[in-house]
Amino acid sequence: MVEVEDLRYIAAPMVNQSDFPFRQLTRRYGATLAYTQMLAPERLINDQDYLETHLRDLWEKHVQEEARSHMHASHRVCAQTTRNAPPVVVQLCGNDPETIVRAARTVQQHCDGIDLNLGCPQEHAREGHYGGYLLGRKDWPLVQSIVPVSTKIRLCQHAPDTLPLGTLLEASGTSWVTLHARHVSARRRRQGVADLQVVKELKDSLRIPVISNGNVRTWNDLQDNRTYTSADGCMVGETLLGNPCIFANIVPDPVQISLEYLELCREHQGCATIHDVRAHVRRFVEHQCSRKPWYAKFRVAINQTESIEDIESLLLTKVNRWRGKARRIKSTNDNSSEDTEQKEHLDPKGRLDDELTGLSLLG
Ligand SMILES: Cc1cc2nc3c(=O)[nH]c(=O)nc-3n(C[C@H](O)[C@H](O)[C@H](O)COP(=O)(O)O)c2cc1C
């Protein structure tokens, strides 16, 4: 069950990036709700491996249920476990109401809500006629017949249609609407400025909660976004991949946060593929260090890793050395090339020079 206050800070659904360890990490640092990546309903019904993989990824709810059923045995542990497992929403795509409902039934015990993706701009969505390609008026009766718990939309191609679509979703029974305020057809779809004015208008015209999505790069953006739109919450995607602590107003040390994520992956084996794990760690490091002279070497090296241990070792040895972090244990007479590299400056909040520069550029 998702409460209105859970909607404040939301980790966006992201294909191959919304794995359980990553969702846990974002929650540790302030996310009040996390979405899974978009799942294919027909595969949940017909592909046992796919179903099992994604149920494993939702294991946190099993822990919750188990904790509840053992409440008499350990009341304190139960309360703790439940508090540590905030709500999760499973996102589905598709255009066949019956298939979507059947798929929803396969996961409903393991999540707190089912979201319908009405924003996917990809070619496969165009070909399959789902996601953002259902935003046109002719498909509204179909959309109305699906009635998910929540809906994530983009701006309609015909701009004035976005508000009536929101009204129609509200009337159909959806509990909240997230608006990623960019068009499906934008040339670089996630780039460019989101039109927060439409989020504000949608919030003014609906009674159900409205979530604003787009344009958040920093903690200040997050606050400005909510102040400007009056939305009930903000969903963040791309920036969260670089800084999973944005909802806590922290810019973490990239190596430390990578190690924390790897630890979660180790604890919850089988939720993220090595490909996804590499991608996360690359993004954490890239977020603050992409302009460092050693960043290209790091990219090559991480692509060659094959396990969590390989990635951990890369971070603790080479990356720390490249960053000058190993220097303290070196002799002052050591003239190795790393020693001549300029030491990164850490400000009192633990932010690196690069991050500060990045913030000023993005702000
Ligand atoms: C790698 C990646 C994968 C994404 N996958 C999904 C998805 O599965 N479902 C969805 O509704 N949106 C998806 N999105 C879009 C995000 O949820 C979000 O709407 C978008 O990135 C805009 O928010 P942002 O500006 O904070 O990144 C994805 C975005 C990224 C970067």
- Higher-pLDDT residue of 335, 90: 90
- Higher-pLDDT residue of 76, 46: 46
Res. 362: pLDDT tops 80: no
Query: Does the beta carbon of 91 sit less than 6 angstroms from any atom of ligand 1?
Result: yes
316 C-alpha to ligand 1 centroid (Å): 31
Residue 270 pLDDT: 85
51 C-alpha to ligand 1 centroid (Å): 22
What structural domains and CATH numbers belong to the chain?
4-248 (3.20.20.70), 254-362 (no CATH)
Query: Does the beta carbon of 237 sit less than 6 angstroms from any atom of ligand 1?
Result: yes
Residue 191 pLDDT: 58
Share of the chain above pLDDT 70, in %: 81
Residues ≥6 apart with Cβ < 8 Å to 190: 182, 237, 238
Q: How far is CA 225 from CA 119, 178, 243, 356, in A?
A: 20, 14, 18, 21
Q: Is 116 helix (H, G, I), strand (E, B) or coil?
A: strand
Residue 209 pLDDT: 98
Report the C-alpha gap between 170 and 219 in whole angstroms: 30
Share of the chain above pLDDT 90, in %: 74
Q: Span 123-129, mean pLDDT?
A: 95
11 HSE (CA, 13 A, CB side): 37
11 C-alpha to ligand 1 centroid (Å): 10
Range with the largest mean pLDDT of 121-125, 144-148, 192-196: 121-125
pLDDT, mean over the chain: 85
- Higher-pLDDT residue of 83, 271: 271
Reported as a pLDDT band with limits 50, 70 and 90, residue 40 is very high
Reported as a pLDDT band with limits 50, 70 and 90, residue 247 is very high
Q: Which residues pair with 10 in a beta bridge?
A: 33, 235
Q: Is 120 a catalytic residue?
A: yes
Q: Span 282-306, mean pLDDT?
A: 97
Query: Does the beta carbon of 238 sit less than 6 angstroms from any atom of ligand 1?
Result: yes
* Residue whose pair of structure tokens reads 């350990």 in the numeric block: 74
Name the token pair of 253: 């040390």
Res. 119: pLDDT tops 80: yes
Query: Does the beta carbon of 12 sit less than 6 angstroms from any atom of ligand 1?
Result: yes
Confirm whether residue 318 is marked as ligand binding: no
Confirm whether residue 61 is marked as ligand binding: no
- % helix, strand, coil for the chain, step of 5: 55, 10, 35
Report the C-alpha gap between 220 and 228 in whole angstroms: 12
15 C-alpha to ligand 1 centroid (Å): 8
Q: How many other CB atoms sit within 10 Å of the CB of residue 20? A: 22
Query: Does the beta carbon of 190 sit less than 6 angstroms from any atom of ligand 1?
Result: yes
Confirm whether residue 203 is marked as ligand binding: no
Count of H-run helices and E-run strands, the chain: 19, 8
42 C-alpha to ligand 1 centroid (Å): 21
Confirm whether residue 48 is marked as ligand binding: no
Query: Does the beta carbon of 212 sit less than 6 angstroms from any atom of ligand 1?
Result: no
Buried b (16+ CB within 10 A) or exposed e, 206-237: bebbbbbbbbbbbbebbeebbeebebbbbbbb
Query: Does the beta carbon of 349 sit less than 6 angstroms from any atom of ligand 1?
Result: no
Pocket residue to mutate for ligand 1, from 238, 275, 278, 283, most atoms within 8 A of Cβ: 238
Q: Where are the alpha helices (DSSP H) in 123-273?
A: 123-128, 140-144, 162-172, 196-205, 219-229, 238-242, 254-267
Residue 59 pLDDT: 72
Report the C-alpha gap between 286 and 281 in whole angstroms: 8
Q: Span 58-75, mean pLDDT?
A: 51
Tell me the per-residue pLDDT of 150-190, one tens digit each, with 9 for 90 and over: 999 999 989 899 999 999 999 999 999 999 999 997 554 55
340 C-alpha to ligand 1 centroid (Å): 40
Confirm whether residue 14 is marked as ligand binding: yes
Residue 350 pLDDT: 38
Name the token pair of 303: 């692509």
Confirm whether residue 281 is marked as ligand binding: no
Residue 147 pLDDT: 76
Residue type at position 167:
T
Residue nearest to atom 4 of ligand 1 (CA): 14
Residue nearest to atom 28 of ligand 1 (CA): 14
User: Annotated catalytic residue: which of 93, 120, 156, 271?
Assistant: 120
- Higher-pLDDT residue of 306, 78: 306
Tell me the per-residue pLDDT of 297-353, one tens digit each, with 9 for 90 and over: 999 999 999 999 999 999 999 999 999 976 444 433 433 333 333 334 333 343 433
Tell me the per-residue pLDDT of 12-32, one tens digit each, with 9 for 90 and over: 999 999 999 999 999 999 999
